[in-house]
Structure 1
Amino acid sequence: MFDDALVIACVHIEKHLDYAYISMLSTHINYQNQGIGKTMLSAAEQFIGENLSVQYIEMSLLSARKELIAFYQRRGYQLNGQVQAYPSDAGVGTPRIDDLYVLTMRKNRVF
């Protein structure tokens, strides 16, 4: 999504065998709390529903982002119990907090 030449929101979708993986859903800080994230998620789900033959959508979030977990839960995503260690060896930085994990959320095909 753009505002003139400025990218204000983006989302990445990958198709796997029987599911779609959503990642990098983000909104520019100056445009947050305006419903753009909801719009982007809805557009991603609509694209998946119309173009990909999948059974569910999956995404990963950091355990410290409670507000994002709640955001996705309000939109039908549920934690599926899959917990992975933070990938410190992947070159993505060092966590500033202890006990940081990567959680997986899933939404069954109702989109």
Structure 2
Amino acid sequence: MDAIATDLSFRDATEDDVDTLVALIESAYRGESSRAGWTTEADILRGQRTDPEGVLDVIRAPAARLITAERDGRIVACCQLEHRGDHAYFGMFAVDPTAQGGGLGRTVLAEAERRAREGWGATEMHMTVISVRDDLIAWYERRGYRRTGRMTPFPYGDERFGIPQRDDLRFELLVKPLV
């Protein structure tokens, strides 16, 4: 096991974690703090990425889990897993921007894949990524995900998902076999 993984502990999020998780997710994607890492969406979206209600919905959903990764008692990453029959959905993935680029995200993704495969018997992992996020999509492709070309519209006008700074945003489905 590599050094990144040995100093991490994983657990399911609780309602007590909501404020910490919202702050983590926002810091990884929006505003100036997100520019410390490479996953920022600050140039394509302003406003919020999530809110307490959205995080609570995942924590409370019977077919979902919100997994946290902790280092020294502090949450440094999280991801959503949702059981959807033969596949699992991966989302709400965030890594503290000051900890990005060192393998933490890769470790969290691998743990999510393991849990989906071993815990639910999922044969595929699905996720959606904003189609203009070329660097992020390339990162997932290096981890075995493939672009499907299946697009869904970005929810323009719903500020719960942010305020778009361009008019060509869509979500693309990425898929990886877990067997």
Give, in whole Å, the separation in 1 of the partners of 2:166 and 2:83. Answer: 32
> Are 1:78 and 2:146 counterparts?
yes
Give, in whole Å, the separation in 2 of the partners of 1:26 and 1:92. Answer: 15
Structure 1 residue aligned with 2:106:
38
Report percent identity of matched pairs: 33
Q: How many aligned positions are there?
A: 110
* Cα deviation code 1:24-44 (max 9, x no counterpart): 111011101010000000111
Give 1:23 shift. 0.4
Structure number with higher helix proportion: 2
Moved over 4 A (4+): none
Structure number with higher strand proportion: 1
Greater relative contact order (CA < 8 Å, ≥ 6 in sequence): 1
Structure 2 residue aligned with 1:69:
137
Which 5+ residue runs of structure 1 have no aligned equivalent?
A: none
Computing the radius of gyration over CA atoms, which structure comes out larger, 1 or 2? Answer: 2
Structure 2 residue aligned with 1:22:
90
Which residue, out of 149, 162, 168, partners 1:99? 168
RMSD of the alignment, in Å? 1.3
TM-score by length of 1: 0.90
Give 1:85 shift. 1.3
TM-score by length of 2: 0.58
One-letter code of the match for 2:163? T
Which 5+ residue runs of structure 2 have no aligned equivalent?
A: 1-68
* Cα deviation code 1:42-69 (max 9, x no counterpart): 1111111211122211001111211110
Residues 21-30 or 46-55, more deviating: 46-55
- State the secondary structure of the residue aligned to 2:150: strand
